[in-house]
Structure 1
Amino acid sequence: MSATALPPGITPLTAEEEAVMRALGRLMLVLPRALTTDLERDQRMSASEYSVLRHLSESRDGSMRMSELAQACDMSLSGMTRLAAKLEAFGFLKRTKCDSDARGWNAVLTEKGLDRLREAWPAHLASVRRHIFDHLDDLDLRALAKALNAMAS
């Protein structure tokens, strides 16, 4: 685009900025697919299933409200309900009524679910290392995490 079409105060991207923007755009498309493909191939587990088990394992007591879990996994509540039903059928979690709100439900990680997460974790870790950290070499990871979090918020 021509820089003359820009409103005052807006400057065009430098070549380096343009390259970063394009690389980030591609990464946002390619990385989730690559991690998902590896997890499905190596563990016969979807990234969504892994994400649910991981979030539950990291919660205070292995339990989260379904609505909070859906938000943490970037899913709709109806999508989370379907996935939770599937994971419950496998014995990886159970759903219980929320004590403080009769309308709400909690997802609770079971021992079998924690065992399944522990089984899948090494394959997922290897995938994350191969697709992400093997390419970061000498970058300041704290600064990178800070910048990525700032972009996400």
Structure 2
Amino acid sequence: MGDLAPLDAGEAAFWRSLIRVTTMLPRALEDQFLPETGLTVSDYGVLVALSEAPGHLLRISALAATTALSLSRISRVVDDLTRRGLVEKRRCAEDGRASNAVLTAAGLAKLEAAYPGHLARVRASVFDRLSAEDVRAAGPVLARLAAALDTTAPTDDC
């Protein structure tokens, strides 16, 4: 570690701000979201991913990659959503060891009901505090950072 240059003042300020945002934003969204909708932010992310997937179906491993959740975490979230009737788990026909998650009609209805409040919170917490130029500049930077951190390999769906 002795060979690494310390962060300069600008890098240190950026890093500290990034850590605060990545810690505080999910908590702030969840504090309102869970009591209003009965969904966690992770639940919502899973429902969104399934709603956007062909046939509302994704292999569990692909769902984990899409939502950036670990396999153990996605399994717990999907099991909970399944118990609540919002998602259905099905064995993968092509690979009996794998499972698919499928969005149910109740899950889609729950997602549609939660969307307006979620959108309002995202706008109030993030976009109302940024200019259009801020968003244009930050979007590619955040996408580049996310891509560099993404260690998941694409997985074929069943």
TM-score (structure 1 length as normaliser): 0.84
Query: What number of residue pairs does the alignment pair up?
Result: 147
| Moved >6 Å (runs of 4+) | none
Which of 51, 59, 66 pairs up with 1:65?
59
Which of 77, 86, 105 pairs up with 2:80?
86
Which of 29, 35, 40 pairs up with 1:35?
29
* 1:99-118 paired onto structure 2 within 5 Å: 99-118=93-112
Structure 1 residue 101, shift from structure 2 partner: 0.9
Q: Which runs of 5 or more structure 2 residues have no equivalent in the other structure?
A: 149-158
Separation (CA, whole Å) in 1 of partners of 2:131 and 2:35: 27
SS for the counterpart of 2:65 is helix
Separation (CA, whole Å) in 2 of partners of 1:94 and 1:35: 26
Q: Which runs of 5 or more structure 1 residues have no equivalent in the other structure?
A: 1-5
SS for the counterpart of 2:90 is strand
Percent identity between the aligned chains?
Answer: 37
Q: Is the 8 A contact 1:38 1:124 kept in 2?
A: no
Q: Is the 8 A contact 1:52 1:73 kept in 2?
A: yes
Which of 56, 67, 90 pairs up with 1:96?
90
